[in-house]
Chain A
Amino acid sequence: MNPTIQAAKNMVSIQVDEKVFPRDVVVAAAYIFIDRCYIRLERALRGRVLARIKGKKKLSRNQLVNLADEFENELLHQLIRRQVAERTDGLREVIVGRALFSAEPESGAEAAQAEPQEDMDYLDDPLGIAIPWEEKYGDDKKEEEGQ
């Protein structure tokens, strides 16, 4: 990533390879810094994003180097956060859904349970959602054609 320190401009520029860090990861990482920096993200050459990070307060050269290091760590954090979120999406939905449902007031929980779901198998399809279109409406279509 080789950051470029521009002490006179109170700024550090970092080019990030989008093949390593997708653009939304770069945006998420940059966002963390907006309390203490002004951030500008631009498209750079060869699938790279250029992040220009400018201190709101005057920073020394060492502080600018630290800022670049922090940004790179934050890229890693945001990348792994995204990867873990994607990998555990289903599990999270189950846990969060269960916890939120249990906290519903009794009236809400009762309403949600009003359907006789406990006798249903996951293969049951009372609304016929899984029935193919042809099977569901094929006869009607033939009748229409016959008329």
Chain B
Amino acid sequence: MKKPIPEVHNQRLMPFRWRELDGRVLLTGDAGDYAWLERETFGDFLAGTLSKEHPAYADLERHNLIRGPHIEKKVMDRVGARSHHLFSGPNLHILILTLRCNQACVYCHASRKPKTSKGFDMDLETAARVLDVIFESPSPDLTIEFQGGEPALNFDVLRFIVEEGYRRNQGGERNLYFSLVSNLSTLNQEQIDFLVDNGVMVCTSIDGPADLHDRNRRFSKKSSYKEAIKKIRAFERTYKRRGLDKELAYVNALATVSRSALKKPREVVDAYVRMGHKVIHLRPLNPFGMGLKIWAREGYTAQEFVDFYLEALDYIIELNKQGEEIMEKLASLMLVRILTDEDSNYMDLRSPCGAGLGQLAYNYDGRVYTCDEGRMVGAMGDDLFCIGDVHQNGYADIIRHPGVRSMCVASCVECLPGCNECAYAPYCGVCPVYNYIMEGDLVARSPVNDRCRIQKGILDHLFRRLAEPGMEDLLRRWTESKDRSSVYRRIVP
């Protein structure tokens, strides 16, 4: 039987959280510092009997887990730096240019409409009002992200927003960025030129090798994989013609993990290596807007995803050791939280979450939601996360909507049951929309929450791997992302 953890009699402890993992104890501090202790040593640490000569003592001191001169001030300053998102206001503005799509993905959300449908495109008047709201946000950085449906099907409005956005920002008061999330299939060379010349970042989906991708992303009688690769190459040629650094200018891709992918983690990674991509983002299916029938066919348990993910992650690490330069994006975002004091501003791994205060989602008809996930719930007929309409409300009305405060309160990790004492609180984030869909409540019941299980499963593994000799140096490289903003500026003809 394990010896019980003793009561705390150590006045020199800094606030910390802890978790037992593989028979050892992982301690984490508010500023993201962490240290490992043997269980016995942990008991001595709590009891105040850990000798200063013990090697663990210096480690705890180095990681700011023992009080000392100026430690509290240092930790507070670092917590401030890690919480930079609390000081800026919404910087990500997601615009649903259309609900229409020319592909029919097997896991697609309920909001998708056929390509030929009428009445589901954002019009110019709505687009102009959306820009009014966006430019009222106090954030010095503004990213306008085009999504759908397939947003490129409404390219005229995309073009208007980019040109009008730059016009409104002529003084360069804001750092203005554009990004397009697209299956790329409808883009012609003139449109690709426009996107490259106007510094629009492009992100697409590659779910793995051709057979898997084509199975997931149905595209009449064509191969959606071949179309995507063809267009990625067209972008690469265009970036090259413009003299842009290929290390910085490239099409981002992410892999949505469907049930068919679960047994093919290595094949999915290999597909990215073959494409020459240096980043792969393995994203679990989410239940937003997805019908129960689709979930029953395509969904899986948290453990199934974690098993898939960890095998893929270990494989990527092995490839790294063999000299292949590739990293997994979700792990890299978590590693940024673990190994650095940077605020990557990733909406899913921050506290409070990005809903309302970090991002706003604008539906094609002008309705505004706390986030794109909230918009997807709206597509299911539940407008709980709708916080305004650009035709009736200005930015102030939208940001002061009670829904924004509710989302903020419901996503303060430090104040949530199951999260506030979790060792991973300094690195994690919650999604109240996910909780609402899965549990009917903005606040999760952590022990039965699949999203929590996935995050914990991944973080457990990252910490295990970080404890291996030499591994921190390898994984730290994943946190050193290059600043790509220089290539996402408008190219003046």
Partner-B contacts on A (CB < 8 A): 32, 35, 73, 77, 80-81, 83-85, 87-88, 91-92, 95-96, 98-100, 102-109
List of A residues within 8 angstroms of B395 by Cβ: 105
B197 within 8 A of partner (CB): no
A95-B415 contact given A32-B440, A102-B86, A103-B89, CB 8 Å threshold: yes
- Closest B residue to A78 by beta carbon equals B417
Q: By the criterion CB–CB under 8 Å, are A81 and B409 in contact?
A: no
Grouping DSSP codes into helix (H, G, I), strand (E, B) and loop, the B interface class, with mixed when no group exceeds half, is loop
Q: By the criterion CB–CB under 8 Å, are B89 and A102 in contact?
A: yes
Q: By the criterion CB–CB under 8 Å, are B138 and A92 in contact?
A: no
For chains A and B in complex, what number of residue pairs have CB atoms within 8 angstroms?
81
Q: By the criterion CB–CB under 8 Å, are A99 and B414 in contact?
A: no
- Closest B residue to A96 by beta carbon equals B408
Partner-A contacts on B (CB < 8 A): 85-90, 136-138, 351-352, 356-357, 394-396, 399, 404-405, 408-409, 412, 414-418, 420, 440-441, 443, 445
Known: A92-B415, A102-B89, A102-B357. 14 other contacts (CB 8 A): A32-B440, A81-B443, A88-B412, A88-B415, A96-B352, A99-B85, A99-B352, A100-B357, A103-B90, A103-B138, A103-B357, A103-B404, A106-B138, A107-B396
Q: In whole angstroms, what is the CA distance A81 to B412 when docked?
A: 13
List of B residues within 8 angstroms of A98 by Cβ: 86-87
Which of B412, B417, B441 contacts A92 (CB under 8 A)? B412
A103-B356 contact given A77-B445, A84-B420, A96-B409, CB 8 Å threshold: yes
Q: By the criterion CB–CB under 8 Å, are B405 and A96 in contact?
A: yes
Q: By the criterion CB–CB under 8 Å, are B138 and A100 in contact?
A: no
**What 7 A-B pairs come out closest when comparing CB atoms?**
A88-B415, A103-B89, A92-B415, A80-B417, A84-B417, A81-B417, A98-B86
- Closest A residue to B421 by beta carbon equals A84
List of A residues within 8 angstroms of B357 by Cβ: 99-100, 102-103
Q: In whole angstroms, what is the CA distance A139 to B405 when docked?
A: 47
16 A–B contact pairs at CB < 8 A? A77-B417, A80-B417, A81-B417, A83-B417, A84-B417, A88-B415, A92-B409, A95-B86, A95-B414, A100-B357, A102-B87, A103-B89, A103-B137, A103-B357, A104-B89, A104-B138
Q: By the criterion CB–CB under 8 Å, are B414 and A88 in contact?
A: yes
Q: By the criterion CB–CB under 8 Å, are A104 and B87 in contact?
A: no
Q: By the criterion CB–CB under 8 Å, are A95 and B412 in contact?
A: yes
Q: In whole angstroms, what is the CA distance A99 to B396 when docked?
A: 14
User: Which of A32, A98, A103, A106 gathers most chain B CB within 10 Å?
Assistant: A103
List of B residues within 8 angstroms of A73 by Cβ: 445
